[in-house]
Structure 1
Amino acid sequence: MADSTTPHQVAIVGCGIIGRTHADTVSARPDATVTALVDVDPAAAKALAARLTEAGHPEPKVYGDLDAAVAGSDVSLVAVCVPSGTHAVIAEQALEHKLHVVIEKPLDVDVAKGRRLAAAATRAASHGVVCSVISQHRFDPGSAIVAEAIRAGRFGTLTSAVASVAWWRSDEYYASAGWRGTWAQDGGGALMNQGVHTLDLLLWFMGRPVTIQAQAIRAAHHAIEVEDTLVATFTFENGAVATLHATTAAYPGGRTRISVHGTEGGAEVEDDVLRRFNADGNKEDLPVDEQSSKEAGSQQLSTNGHSRQYADILDAVSNGSQPGISVQDGIEALAAVRAVYIASTLQRPVKFEDVLEGKYDDVDVSRGVGLPPV
């Protein structure tokens, strides 16, 4: 394991789209380098290695599994970028080697596996090992402004929130990888895969949910197992309510929005940019951080949020502190997603705490996704 004076040596496990994002983010840092690439598909790993060397970075070694990478390369941190259903397994494997771990969101598709990972992360922390889950939009400047205003009470009493992810994914997208659109590896559809980051922001802004109701359907993509459209309602411990909408059936693709409302103000974040901000009883829009207003978001993966979160994680590694996003944060986001699917399956309200504690671990949520009601 690297000490605080040596560069962070990173193994990227999973060399697909999100693996490239992590590799680009790490390689752009002066204090980190990608030393190993791990993928069961050698062509994917070799393609990413070529991408890095063409950009002028040192050539990483390529391996078929993590154990081989740890044995054959200097590695201090593992970035878990494999399909969602194998996140926890790979992360635990890395922790057994006493390596720091960054897990791409979601934490996993199984809350029970998430709880086991949390226990492993707690044990590893006693040895100074850091484990964090990507929640990059918590590091967006606009979102941080909203969260700070909420914590300071500048919106008064929070009353409600509305979150929407209106995207389009083609049938070809789902067919391009065998794990996409499956319960076993994707863990869900429009919410688990595309909407999970927006749900994470909703939890960050509004706090812990109490009850959740939902309806999930396949509105356009009938060849997949999971939902392509859902709506859900949340009640929170602070008494506020919220609606959540996520779809990959909104041709040609719309925007991501989350708005928060209170008795003294509110805000709206659209495509990662803070578009409206009122606080302290002011009726007019207030000026916001100039950087946040310039950083236009898009449906294309951006490394900006990942870069900010990696800075937080690597600072924690170097300083022997805890990162801003913990495994517990990842479990709560996963439990909220799972609660939505369970509520749709059972067609009744579900208590978030019951899902978090494992009461519904055995529910087959695939039964809760169907065709639009007639």
Structure 2
Amino acid sequence: MNQAAVVRLGVIGLGNIAQQHIDNLRSGDAGRCHLTAICSRQPGELAQKYGVQHFAKPMELIRSGLCDAVLVATPTFNHCEVGLQVLDAGLHLMMEKPLGLSIAEGEQLLENQQPSQVFGLMLNQRTDPLFKAMRDCINRETLGDITRTHWTMTNWFRPEIYFQASDWRATWKGEGGGLLLNQCIHNLDIFQWLCGMPATLRGFCQFGRYHDIEVEDEATAYLQYENGASGVFIGSTGEAPGVISSICRRSGRTIIRWRTLLLTLNTPSTSHYSRSTREMFGMPCAEVTDITPDRKVNQHGLVLANFADAILDGAALIAPAADGLHSLALANAMLLSTWESREITFPLQSKAYQSALDQRISASSLREKTNTEVHVDMSASYR
């Protein structure tokens, strides 16, 4: 490892999440990523504060020669355009989630990546020790094949002011979706990271059920896998406090209950016991163990530190950009299934979804931003 080398990182977009990234860069929690330039439409007071160069336009930063890599933290509708500019300039790219508005945008970005470029995605929940422990349990051969999944993420409660404080958020024109693209994109990534992609999906989304918005704020999907397993995904920004998730396998299950991770092991496996027992109402013995790990890690900092390691040392990325296509496919499929009242088969046809989305974008408009005072505590936004 080359400890002396650093990655000169520029940040485009200075919204709430970008401020957290900058804090990590300034504190050293982002490893060998060093902040060298920022880009925003606002005046450059922050640039003076941080002692870095400020640019008003993305291309000015990209062409400045001050950056080896760029973190794109703009609103979602700019991800594809700005990301393409970064890749076309030959710089490395870290994209905030989601990869784009749609599968089609994600595919376009990946097609423009050169072999020499490192292209990562800010899927920080992959560094959460709880999900890592859950993945370790699932990958153990002793647990057997997945038989059923139940992934409920209803702890993304958002009050009305969250949407009123932005002109683009929760509009088709500005964000290309709501709950699924903004909040649950993390959960959808973890869901497929743990269980793999389904073969088919039937989605049921509700639009503006809890908020004065045009996009989805609640989603339910029924999934079927190639091996015959079934699954349910539920997400909401209108429920509090929410969240129970479980993944069942032939020899046990893992379950998240109020930030606690429980592992249940059946002895013998359910299928073996069913075939061999002579007890008409018998059940296999089950041992439940609390395997909740310490979750005190800087998730965003770890992803940026890994990004630098990938650029400087060739380390494997925690979340390669290509992985972002999976969560986008799930989110896009749930919406398309709802709009067309039909089951979706994977792989999702990107043109079909893009056409349906474009119709809604053309009929949408940005909202008038509220002048109400807003208190922002980003630590309260993480689930």
Identify the TM-score tier after normalising by the shorter chain.
0.7 to 0.9
Distance 1:193 1:109, change over 3 A: same
Would you say 1:59 and 2:48 are equivalent positions? no
Whether contact under 8 Å (1:130, 1:322) holds in the other structure is: no
Residues in 2 aligned to 1:294 and 1:322: alpha-carbon distance in whole angstroms = 24
Computed over aligned residues only, the root mean square deviation of the Cα atoms, in angstroms, reads 2.4
Alignment partner, residue 300 of structure 1 = none
Partner SS for 1:286: strand
Q: Which amino acid aligns with 1:363?
A: A
Alignment partner, residue 247 of structure 2 = 260
- Gap regions ≥5 residues in structure 2: 268-284, 361-383
Distance 1:361 1:232, change over 3 A: same
Partner SS for 1:185: helix
More contact order relative to length (CA 8 Å, sep ≥ 6) = 2
Q: Following TM superposition, by how much is the alpha carbon of 1:220 offset from its aligned partner in structure 2, in angstroms?
A: 4.0
Would you say 1:343 and 2:337 are equivalent positions? yes
Alignment partner, residue 157 of structure 1 = 145
Alignment partner, residue 141 of structure 1 = 129
Alignment partner, residue 370 of structure 1 = none
Q: Following TM superposition, by how much is the alpha carbon of 1:330 offset from its aligned partner in structure 2, in angstroms?
A: 0.5
Residues in 1 aligned to 2:337 and 2:12: alpha-carbon distance in whole angstroms = 33
Distance 1:321 1:334, change over 3 A: same
Which has the greater radius of gyration?
A: 2
Aligned residue pair count: 339
Residues in 2 aligned to 1:24 and 1:86: alpha-carbon distance in whole angstroms = 23
Partner SS for 2:248: strand
Q: Following TM superposition, by how much is the alpha carbon of 1:274 offset from its aligned partner in structure 2, in angstroms?
A: 4.8
Structure 2 residue aligned with 1:131, among 102, 119, 137?
Answer: 119
Distance 1:4 1:293, change over 3 A: closer
Residues in 1 aligned to 2:25 and 2:149: alpha-carbon distance in whole angstroms = 34
Distance 1:236 1:25, change over 3 A: farther
Distance 1:365 1:341, change over 3 A: farther
Q: Following TM superposition, by how much is the alpha carbon of 1:268 offset from its aligned partner in structure 2, in angstroms?
A: 2.1
Q: Which amino acid aligns with 1:106?
A: P
Q: Which amino acid aligns with 1:266?
A: R
Q: Which amino acid aligns with 2:89?
A: H
Q: Following TM superposition, by how much is the alpha carbon of 1:202 offset from its aligned partner in structure 2, in angstroms?
A: 0.8
Structure 2 residue aligned with 1:283, among 263, 282, 286?
Answer: 286
Q: Following TM superposition, by how much is the alpha carbon of 1:287 offset from its aligned partner in structure 2, in angstroms?
A: 5.3
Q: Which amino acid aligns with 2:23?
A: D
Alignment partner, residue 21 of structure 1 = 20
Identity %: 24
Would you say 1:190 and 2:179 are equivalent positions? yes
Partner SS for 2:35: strand
Q: Following TM superposition, by how much is the alpha carbon of 1:148 offset from its aligned partner in structure 2, in angstroms?
A: 2.2
Partner SS for 1:353: coil
Q: Following TM superposition, by how much is the alpha carbon of 1:14 offset from its aligned partner in structure 2, in angstroms?
A: 1.0
Q: Following TM superposition, by how much is the alpha carbon of 1:332 offset from its aligned partner in structure 2, in angstroms?
A: 1.6
Q: Which amino acid aligns with 1:320?
A: G
Residues in 1 aligned to 2:58 and 2:316: alpha-carbon distance in whole angstroms = 24
Whether contact under 8 Å (2:133, 2:293) holds in the other structure is: no
Alignment partner, residue 113 of structure 1 = 105
Residues in 2 aligned to 1:16 and 1:71: alpha-carbon distance in whole angstroms = 22
Q: Following TM superposition, by how much is the alpha carbon of 1:260 offset from its aligned partner in structure 2, in angstroms?
A: 1.0
Q: Following TM superposition, by how much is the alpha carbon of 1:322 offset from its aligned partner in structure 2, in angstroms?
A: 4.1
Q: Following TM superposition, by how much is the alpha carbon of 1:17 offset from its aligned partner in structure 2, in angstroms?
A: 0.8
Q: Following TM superposition, by how much is the alpha carbon of 1:169 offset from its aligned partner in structure 2, in angstroms?
A: 1.5
Q: Which amino acid aligns with 1:285?
A: V
Alignment partner, residue 7 of structure 2 = 8
Alignment partner, residue 246 of structure 1 = 235
Whether contact under 8 Å (1:22, 1:79) holds in the other structure is: no
Alignment partner, residue 189 of structure 2 = 200
Residues in 1 aligned to 2:139 and 2:243: alpha-carbon distance in whole angstroms = 23
Whether contact under 8 Å (2:266, 2:287) holds in the other structure is: no
Whether contact under 8 Å (2:38, 2:55) holds in the other structure is: yes
Structure 1 residue aligned with 2:80, among 64, 83, 88?
Answer: 88
Structure 2 residue aligned with 1:212, among 170, 184, 201?
Answer: 201
Residues in 1 aligned to 2:85 and 2:358: alpha-carbon distance in whole angstroms = 28
Q: Which amino acid aligns with 2:96?
A: E
Whether contact under 8 Å (1:13, 1:78) holds in the other structure is: yes
Residues in 2 aligned to 1:118 and 1:258: alpha-carbon distance in whole angstroms = 32
Whether contact under 8 Å (1:4, 1:319) holds in the other structure is: no
Residues in 1 aligned to 2:229 and 2:23: alpha-carbon distance in whole angstroms = 39
